[in-house]
Structure 1
Amino acid sequence: MTLTTAVSWLFVPATRPERFAKATAGGADVVIIDLEDAVAPADKETARAALREHWPADSPVPVVVRVNAVGTPDSAADLALCRELSPAAVVLPKAETARDVQAVGGPVLPLIESARGLVNLAEIAAAEPVVRLLFGSIDLALDLAVTEDAALDPSRSDLVRWSVVSSLPAPVDGVSTAIRDTDAVTRDAKRAKGWGFGGKLCIHPVQVPLVHAAFAPSAAEVDWARRVLAADLGGAASLDGEMIDRPVVERARRIVREAERA
């Protein structure tokens, strides 16, 4: 699994090194060790020390690190630690300009979670070290002072659109705060897939299989896709009374690829 194809992204606090091995072996495609929101201000240095001492160098899945935002007191120390440990990428919160992204100095996963980040999304997505865009929906809702989740739909569309324009993989949706409500997690993940996202951030291991199931094509979708590909003769054709043209064939190919990855 690579950062460009990963579906499930599991957070684990840097202050809980005893959870690192369990997280990397728990079925998530990517593990995000968090130095930012999950760590109290007074514990930042302790978190960096724990991460240095217990860095999961032998992880079977990519491990990335969420640092503190550029310009904050802990940013420089976090980035210096990342240069030492060489994670698969750095998750950059509050990414608001291309300059923020370039300050990381290596592969970066910008978290778009502010109005300014949205306004500058084109330049952020086009910045050279960007691997993939992540959606910080909770912080964005706070910044925009919105309480209805539907108010974030235009922002979701922006992330998908600029990912395509910049030849990036489909972006990764924000977290679902419901941990034990499996229906809510599944609903959120399916909505994200419908908006064009390619994965989802997770805050608890129980969310990981739910996200995988939601993003995987259904048996009916795979059956339809295979029948479309079997009927494709290189020109216009029909299947079940519907026309098959190039966009339909490409969608069928995408479904089959997703099913094979799943």
Structure 2
Amino acid sequence: MSSAVAAAAAAIRQAGAFYGRSLPRRAVLTVPSSDWKKLTKLPTFTNTDCVVLDLEDGVAETAKQIARENIYRYLNESASKITREICVRINAVSSNHINEDVKLLKDLSTSIDCLFVPKVDSIDDMKWLADRLGSNRQYNLVIYCESARSLADLRSILTTASSLFSLQGVVFGSDDFSADVGINGRYSPEAFELTYARQKIITTCRLFENAQPIDMVYINFKDLDGLKKQSEQGAAWGFTGKQVIHPQQVPIVQAAFSPSVSSIAWAKELIEAYDKHEKEEGKGAFTFRGQTMVDKPLLRKARSILNMTR
């Protein structure tokens, strides 16, 4: 982030009354927890918004227990060195590994910032996990939508999740979803085959106040031009963040999901003008900067822009 954007973001954070929810995760960096060397490098990844310590797809079947031990050690000994959010992705509720993952969560002496749960296919997955974790801790929750069933039932799943946890987002797991719905071979670089799924996730998330839609991963981490294009597409559609698998992807993704300095200034000024209009003249649309008729939808857009600023 440039110094100008950082300065604008700091000013907006001080005016936090403009929005009521936490700032979104733009770059969600997943790190395999079986690799202790990579965990020790996490303090150098200060530019990413969110670090997810992975127990699932990034970890071999034979290395699950090593990964749990690494997470336990890391969170209890080293987590204070990182200023960014630290999360854990457990294995799917339907997997053979979930009971040991739940035990790890209960054994941790420190709370994780957010729990990422993959392959959530039904409301029963949410109920089972909430029952096993108990009520001693309130978990922030991000789920993964990775199947046709999950996509079809997403609204019901999120309704249940929001009643049992502090629901914070949905990640689109494009590879598993593609396999589940029968996309032949690898989807195209433009991912047009996944348009419906991506846009439905965005739309469904908007029904829940704090459910951030997080876009698919761009697997070819060396293709930074392709990453930039897909990130900007996702941001234009309404995603507010994206999965990343390599540190060099982080700045490109963050730039795509960050408002420009001019749009930040516009949003801040519009909200201030709206508040003044409400106080002095009452409700209703009004003219802003000599030409824009400001009403509730435009106000929501302005607040959304500020909410995308970190």
Q: 1:19 to 1:212 in 2, by over 3 A?
A: same
What is the 5 A alignment of 1:154-193?
154-193=196-235
> Deviation string for 1:150-207 (max 9, x for gaps)?
2222212222222221223321112111212221111121111112111111100111
Match of 1:138 among 158, 175, 198: 175
Paired residue type of 1:75: I
Partner residue in 2 for 1:34: 54
Q: Name the counterpart of 1:201.
A: 243
What is the match of residue 116 of structure 2?
91
What letter corresponds to residue 92 of structure 1 in structure 2? Answer: V
1:119 CA drift (Å)? 1.5
What CA distance in whole angstroms lies between the structure 2 residues aligned with 1:226 and 1:108? Answer: 30
Pairwise CA distance, 1:10 = 0.7
Cα separation, partners in 2 of 1:24 and 1:10, compared to 1, 3 Å: farther
Q: Could you tell which deviates more after superposition, 4-13 or 233-242?
A: 233-242
Deviation, 1:257, is: 4.7
2-side partners of 1:100 and 1:93: how far apart?
A: 10
Q: Name the residue aligned to 1:113.
A: 146
CA gap of 1:238–1:29, structure 2 versus 1, over 3 A, is closer
Distance 1:222 1:252 in 2: 8
1:183 is paired with a residue whose SS is: helix
2:260 to 193, 214, 218: 218
Alpha-carbon contact 1:3-1:30 (below 8 Å) kept: no
Q: Which of 216, 241, 248 in structure 1 is aligned with 2:298?
A: 248
Gaps of 5+ in 1: none
Write the distance in 1 (CA, Å) between the matches of 2:288 and 2:141.
44
Q: What CA distance in whole angstroms lies between the structure 1 residues aligned with 2:169 and 2:35?
A: 26
Cα offset, 1:140, TM superposition = 0.9
Q: Which TM-score applies when normalising by structure 1? A: 0.87
Matches within 5 A, 1:221-240: 221-222=263-264, 224-225=266-267, 228=270, 233=277, 235-237=285-287, 239=289
Contact 1:170 / 1:196 at 8 angstroms: preserved in 2?
A: no
Q: CA–CA distance in 2 between the matches of 1:45 and 1:256?
A: 41
Count of aligned residue pairs for this structure pair: 260
RMSD across aligned positions (CA): 2.5
**Structure-2 separation of matches of 1:100 and 1:16:** 28
Structure 2, unaligned runs of 5 or more: 1-12, 14-20, 134-138, 279-284
Answer yes or no: is 1:67 the counterpart of 2:109: no
SS at structure 1 position matched to 2:120: coil
Q: Return the offset for 1:12.
A: 0.7
Contact 1:12 1:20 in 2 (8 A): yes
In 2 relative to 1, CA 150–46 (structure 1 residues): closer, same or farther, beyond 3 Å?
A: same
Give, in angstroms, the shift of residue 227 of structure 1: 6.2
Residues 43 and 180 of structure 1: CA distance in aligned 2, closer, same or farther (over 3 Å) = same
Q: Secondary structure at the match of 1:134?
A: strand
In structure 1, the partner of 2:157 is 124
Q: Secondary structure at the match of 1:217?
A: coil
Q: Look up the equivalent residue of 1:15 and give its one-letter code.
A: S
Q: Bigger shift: 48-57 or 249-258?
A: 249-258
Residue 23 of structure 1 contacts residue 205 of structure 1 at CA under 8 Å; is this kept in 2? no
Task: Give the 3-state SS of the residue equivalent to 1:176 in structure 2.
Answer: coil
Corresponding residue SS for 1:131: strand
Secondary structure of 1:179 counterpart? coil
Q: Which segment is superposed worse, 215-224 or 174-183?
A: 215-224
Answer whether contact 2:49 2:84 (CA < 8 A) is retained. Answer: yes
After TM superposition, give the deviation of residue 238 of structure 1 in Å.
5.8
